Every structure is written in structure tokens, then in C-alpha cells.
Chains A and B, each alone.
Chain A
Amino acid sequence: MLAKHGAHRRADKHAGSLLSATQYCALALLLSLVLSSSAFFLPSSALGALIAIDLLLVIHGLYLKNKITALLKVGAAQLALTLPLYYLLHGEAQLLDGVIVVLRVFLAMLPGWWLSSTQSPERLGEVLSWGLPAKWAFVIAASIGLLPYMLQETKEIYAIQCLRGANITPKALRNPKNWPELVYCVLLPVLIQLLKLSKQMAKAAKLRHFGKVNKPTHWPSSREDK
């Protein structure tokens, strides 16, 4: 496993020599899936080895300057919720069991953090689209491509509604009474925009004969892939 991991990293640095970035990403996805599920199914005695492997992933993630505090916070919250329950229901003797359970859940989340912090989203998307029909791959690509536009639109609607005097400023939103107003003032117009946008996109794609040929064509891949 160690050697494999090292090989992955080297392949990442000299992309193209051994594995392409996409294949490397697929392997990383597989590795994190295996590690995540083995956190649940391994016997307690083998947990030490799993911790050692996950520690390597953490070092790799931290080396690439990713933050792990959010994950640690989730783990601490889980521990704070579980241990008192164990203490109340089972007494002191089984507190260690509680710690092991929380450790397993935490170990199941760690590979996901490593995957999302070391792999670029585009490569992950490319791997995922291997198994998807062309239409849904197009839908996902279009959604992500239009995300900045949608966010811009949402921000504009929010700003305009604030100017009109709606009670949806961050201060007013502390009062739960104002939450429905947020839905009607911002979310509803955004939904209307989305309906309009999907209609336009569908029309534009159909006018370009989307779905007419069996083997879909793709925009050529960018320079870095070559």
C-alpha cells in the first residue's frame, strides 16, 4: 500500500509518464472508497494498521496545505454527543467502546477529506462521467458551468430585494419569523430564473442537434491533459 501510494504521488508530479491524471484520480477514488468501508468492517485489532494508512493520507493532505480543522470539529462534536450517552446507558465500563465507535466513524470520513482536498474537481467529474449516460453528463456539466451565472443572479436578486426593504438582511434573519420572507423574496424568483434558463438551454442544445447522434462528440481536452 505504501509503495502504491508513493507511486501515485510520483505519477501526479510527472503526469503522463506512468498514469494520466484521470486514471490517478480514479485510483484515488477507489482507494478512498476501500478505506472508508474498511473503517466499518475491519475487526478492532486491525484498526491500528488503518490508522497508520490514514495518517499517511493526512500527512499528504496537510503537505498540500489543506485545512483539517472542520473535520476535527465534526469528530469532537460526535465524541461529545456519544460519550455521555454511553456513560448514561452503559456505565463507565464501556466508555472505551464508545471511543472506538467514534474513531471508526471518524476514520470513515478521513479518506473523503483526503480525496476532496487532493484531487481537482474536474478530474473527479471526468471519472464519474464514465458511468453516466450522455444526457446526464451534459446536465451536470451545464449545471456546474452555469453555477457562476446562477450565483450572480441570486446575489443580484438578494441585493435588489434588500434595497426594496425586505426583512432579509443578515441581522433580520436572526429572527426565524423572517425566514419565510427569504423564501418568497429570493428563492422564488431564483426558481423562476432557473425555469427560464433550463428552457433556453434545452432549446439551444436541441437546435444544435443534441441527442441526435448515437456517439456524442466532445469539446477537445485542454492542453494540460496532453
Chain B
Amino acid sequence: MKSPFDLQDALFIGFCATLLVVIKSMMRLKLGLSGHSMFLMTFFYLVCYGAVGRVGAITACGFLAGLVAMMLSVGKGGPLILLKFGLPALAMDIALLLMAGLFSLRWQCIILGLVGCLAWAAKGWIGNLLAGMSTQVALVQFGISFLQGGVFAIAAALLVPSVLQRLHAHDLLHRSQLDNDK
């Protein structure tokens, strides 16, 4: 048991991941836009990071969400869905390592959202290239999905700091990002 998270954090991450998957599966039918999943993903990943306050929380949340999605049979990707949730999370965590403490929480959230969206769009891009799509067409599709996802990701990233502040005001975050800022 050398995991850096204690049981309470791990459970919170698991609950967030499950809720993400369930809400995503409920929303999928209502909206036709392809980027809206980035909204939920960014929101829950950033809340996880804010509440647990450790690098690695986002990756854990991402892969748990992928596993749960696979078990609940959400989405059509099968094993690929693990990558769909996991890759943006991994990219966000790596970005977090690179820019630790450089920006205020709000800018950190926005940059993380964009990085996650970039990874999300890049996954589709690489998939298309592997399938033999020509470079130009794949690039245009990459651009379209990045723009669509980016709008949703930024919208979510702007909401997260105020949500975290409210949670902090209720004294619910025991060692959060907000504590470290003081």
C-alpha cells in the first residue's frame, strides 16, 4: 500500500469518475455536438485535482472513469474507451508537473483544460492517420474537433475555481490547492 492517496481521496476520485461516466452517458443522447464530453471531463478532472491537491489525481480519475465506462458498457468504443478517458487525463497531469506553481488557479485550470482537449483531439488524429487517412483531411478534422472541444473545455475550466472556492468556504477540502495558495 504505497499509493500516495489515502482511502478517502481514492474513494472521492472513484465517485467522481463514476458520476462523470453516468452523466456522460445520459447527456449523450440529448446533444448532437461531439465536443461536449470535454466539458464534463474537464470539470470532473479539475475538481478531483482541486479536492485532492496532488499530481496524479487526474490520471487516476481518468483511468478509473475508463474502467467504469467499460464495466457499465457505456459508449461504443469497448477497450478503446480506456484511452479516450485516460489520455487527456495523462496529458493534463504531465502539464501540471511542468508548470507547477507558475500560474494562479484560474489560469492553471484554463491551460489544463486546453491541454486535455489537445490530447483528446490528438487521439482522434492519430487514429485517423493509422487508418490511412491523408494528412490534410486528418488535420482539418483535428482542427474541427479541437475547436469544438476547446470551447467546452474552457467553459468548464472557468467554472471550476468558483466551485472549489465554495467547497472551501464550507470547509470541506482538507488539503486542497486553495490551502497551498495561502
> When chains A and B are docked, how far (Å) is the Cα of A150 from the Cα of B73?
18
Q: Is the CB of B13 within 8 A of A139?
A: yes
Name B79-110 residues within 8 Å CB distance of A: 79-81
**Cβ A139 vs Cβ B11 within 8 A:** yes
Best-surrounded residue of A41, A143, A190 (most CB of chain B within 10 A): A143
Contact across chains for B10 and A140 when beta carbons are under 8 A apart: no
A124 interface residue (CB < 8 Å to B): yes
Min Cβ gap B122→A in Å is 16
Q: Residue A109 contacts which of B13, B17, B77 (CB distance < 8 angstroms)?
A: B77
A-B contact count (CB 8 A): 174
In the bound complex, residues from chain B placing their C-beta under 8 Å from that of A86 are 134, 137
Is there an interface contact between B79 and A36, defined as CB atoms closer than 8 Å? yes
Q: Residue on A with the closest CB to B11? A: A198
Interchain CB contact under 8 A, A140 and B68: yes
Q: Is B68 a contact partner of A105 (Cβ separation < 8 A)? A: no
Q: How far is the CA of A36 from the CA of B18 in the complex (A)?
A: 25
A143 touches B137 (CB 8 A): no
Of the residues A39, A151, A202, contact of B11 by C-beta under 8 Å? A202
Is A9's CB within 8 Å of the partner chain B? no
- List the one stretch of A16-24, A160-168, A204-212, A218-226 in contact with chain B: A204-212
Residue pair A202, B8 in contact (C-beta under 8 Å): yes
Once bound together, how far apart are the Cα atoms of A101 and B138, in whole Å?
A: 11
Bound Cα distance from A135 to B60, whole angstroms: 12
Judged by DSSP, the binding face of A is helix
Contacts of B47 in A (CB 8 A): 191
Contact A195 B51 (CB under 8 A): yes
Residues of B near A178 (CB, < 8 A) are none
Contact A194 B16 (CB under 8 A): yes
Contact present for B19 and A150 (CB under 8 Å): yes
Contact, CB under 8 Å: A136 / B64: yes
- Distance between Cα atoms of A139 and B52 in the complex (Å): 15
CB nearest to A196 among chain B residues: B172
Contact partners of A187 in chain B: CB under 8 A: 43, 163
Distance in angstroms from B146 CB to nearest chain A CB is: 14
Within the assembled complex, what's the spacing in Å between the Cα atoms of A44 and B132? 10
Interface residues of A (CB under 8 A from B): 29, 32-33, 36, 39-41, 44, 70-71, 74, 81-82, 85-86, 89-90, 94, 97-98, 100-101, 104-105, 108-109, 111-117, 121-122, 124-125, 128, 133, 135-136, 139-140, 142-144, 146-147, 150-151, 154, 180, 183-184, 187-188, 190-192, 194-195, 197-199, 201-202, 205-206, 210-211
